Amino acid sequence: MEADTRVESNRKVSVGLQFGPFLKKSLPKYLFIIPAFLFVVIFMLYPIFYNIFISFQDVTIMNLKGDKSFIGVENYRQIFQDERFLLSLKNTVIYTVSCIVFQLSIGFLLALFFNQQFPMRNFFRSILLLAWMTPLVITGTLFKWLYDVDYGVLNYLLIQIGLISEPINWLGQQSTALMAIIVTNIWIGIPFNMILLLSALQALPSDVYEAAKIDGASRIQSFFKITLPLMKPATLVVLVLGIIYTFKVFDIILIMTGGGPVNATQVLPFFGYELAFVNFKFSLSGAVATIILVILTVISLIYLYLIRKEESM
Amino acid sequence: MKYTIRQYGMFVIALLITAVFLFPIYWMITTSVKPIQDVFATPPMIFPETIQFKAYIKNIVEDQSILLYLKNSLIIAIGTSLLTLLLALPAAYAMARFRLKGSGIFLLILLVTQMVPGIMTAMPLFILFSHFNLLNSYVALIIGNTTLALPFAILIMRPFFLSIPRGLEDAAVIDGCNRFTAFVKVVLPLTKPTLLTVGTFSFLFAWGDLIFALTLATDEKIRPLTMGLTKFIGQYGTQWDGLMAVSTIAAAPIIIMFILLQKYIVSGITAGSEK
């Protein structure tokens, strides 16, 4: 009994001793990180969870400040039955896949080209990034002008080359609108892909190439046997980053077509936006946001798995 | 340095690639300085014959509404840069220097939130801000844009702090500084390139933002230039010279910053993808 109380009081003393130093030594360290942490929790994590939460409720502009009722998966049922949802999912997938395929392959070819030595190489390399840095609103406006049916440069050039015989209303008709937006985004994304792949190319060990040269390997052989395998991890990371960024498409849709004509360019983020800010059906928008979140989580997990795998190599 | 003929050949190819690639930007600028009849000429006038600035005078001097949009864009972009640096700098430093419980999880959260589309955060932020009467305020737009810039900022600043030798601050602490003054006096002066990279990127993110401008601000008085541009698209759908002039004005800060800070932008992009 006596021994117990002694242990107890000892513990109290030691807790007191530990807490004092904690305040003095550890707390200042946490003070550095607390503001950013709070910001992330309130303005970034809370919205994500709010989307999930609200997707099981019935919230519109009418009852935003009043009582809300839980309605389970009713919103999801409604979303899945909406033909615009399947259409926008389909368009998002078509858009993402075709953008990535072209951005990555053209970006890779350009990276190989700009990896060679020639005058003003560094200048060309970075000036191309201007295409990527330009705000999407401006890029969208610019391409709208290039695509213009009456005065657009694109139609003029295509007619001159003889590919088409009369001007095409690229953004104004269902059959070509999505493709026109895809081409725009490929243009935007190529420099980004190029610069990332280029920095990976420059990090490749040069002695491997020298050894291969001594062994009599041709340039083509060393490209397929050395460059491609060594570039695989970097390419995979660029691929996943590209998917995530492309999936977010919103600005250029809003500027160039507004989802039309007749939903031809409707994509998931734009569908979610319209539900919340045009129709004021917040819960339905939350459901779309949650579906996007699930898809992106899967992609993010692949990304994290890839960088972990790369780090362990 | 001497170059071979083959290398000059590659130079020419690079020039062609760049010309094709930057053509849309060239076309925007030249359209804005052409007389209206030349804008709609067939065949399109690749090289402008007459250069005039009517579209600019009309949209800056005669109609001054664009100046307000410009002011708003500047306030929002600078505010976003400052807030991002203020939050990211100490956090990235602490995560690189101290053993903090949960900092691994925090890093993971940052990676994942970076992937969430801005438009997904817009609706919850709209409801949150409407409860606090913050809609239609610069604060709302600055906070919205910071949600996009902050993860990027911390993710590229942390490795930078890891690369600064620890001994520097330890020496300062021995000389009588505490952790905080050591950070301010010894580490901060070394971070100039990173501050520039992160500052530039947050500025550019916010300058180009459309999502938060569209959803969190319905009042024309605080809307930025990106929204001003959409108004022009609706109003003067066919007045391409005016639209291109306003687009050029909106793109000008980007082009200028890009030319001045190329080095930092390229290093920022590559660093951002590695971590």
Please write the tens of the pLDDT for every residue from A101-149: 999 999 999 999 999 999 998 889 889 988 888 999 999 999 999 999 9
Q: Give DSSP secondary structure letters for B124-169.
A: HHHHHHHHTT-TTSHHHHHHHHHHHHHHHHHHHHHHHHHHS-THHH
Alpha carbon of A175: minimum distance to chain B alpha carbons (Å) = 22
With CB atoms and an 8 Å threshold, state whether B229 touches A141.
yes
| Shortest CA distance from B180: residue in chain A | A28
Q: What percent of chain A has pLDDT over 90?
A: 58
Structure tokens at B266: 């390229």
With CB atoms and an 8 Å threshold, state whether B111 touches A304.
yes
Whether B171 and B185 have beta carbons less than 8 Å apart is answered as no
- A151, A309, B258 from B196: Cα distances, Å: 41, 32, 12
pLDDT band at B75 (very low <50, low <70, confident <90, very high): very high
| ipTM of the prediction | 0.89
Q: Considering only residues 234 to 263 of chain B, which have any Cβ-Cβ distance to chain A shorter than 8 Å? A: 240, 243-244, 247, 250-251, 254-255, 258, 262
Q: What is the pLDDT of residues A64-102, one digit of tens each?
A: 777 778 888 999 999 999 999 999 999 999 999 999 999
| H helix intervals, chain B | 5-32, 36-39, 54-56, 65-97, 103-113, 118-131, 138-163, 167-174, 179-182, 192-208, 211-216, 225-235, 240-274
With CB atoms and an 8 Å threshold, state whether B25 touches A134.
yes
With CB atoms and an 8 Å threshold, state whether A277 touches B215.
yes
pLDDT of residue A48: 92
pLDDT at B76 over 60: yes
Q: Considering only residues 140 to 199 of chain A, which have any Cβ-Cβ distance to chain B shorter than 8 Å? A: 141-146, 148, 150-151, 153, 156, 160, 187, 190-192, 195-196, 199
pLDDT of residue A75: 93
- Average pLDDT of the segment spanning B142-151: 94
pLDDT at A219 over 50: yes
Q: In angstroms, rounded to a whole number, what is the distance separating the alpha carbons of residues A24 and A18?
A: 10
Q: Which residues of A touch B118 (CB under 8 A)?
A: 248, 250
With CB atoms and an 8 Å threshold, state whether A151 touches B44.
yes
Closest Cα partner for B252 from B89, B5, B29, B46?
B29
Alpha carbon of B29: minimum distance to chain A alpha carbons (Å) = 10
pLDDT of residue B193: 84
Structure tokens at A171: 């953004």
Q: What is the pLDDT of residues B209-241, one digit of tens each?
A: 999 999 999 888 999 999 988 887 766 556 888
In this complex, how many residue pairs, one in chain A and one in chain B, have their CB atoms less than 8 Å apart? 269
Return all residues near A233 (Cβ < 8 A) that are at least 6 apart: A306, A309, A310, A313
Average pLDDT of chain A is 87
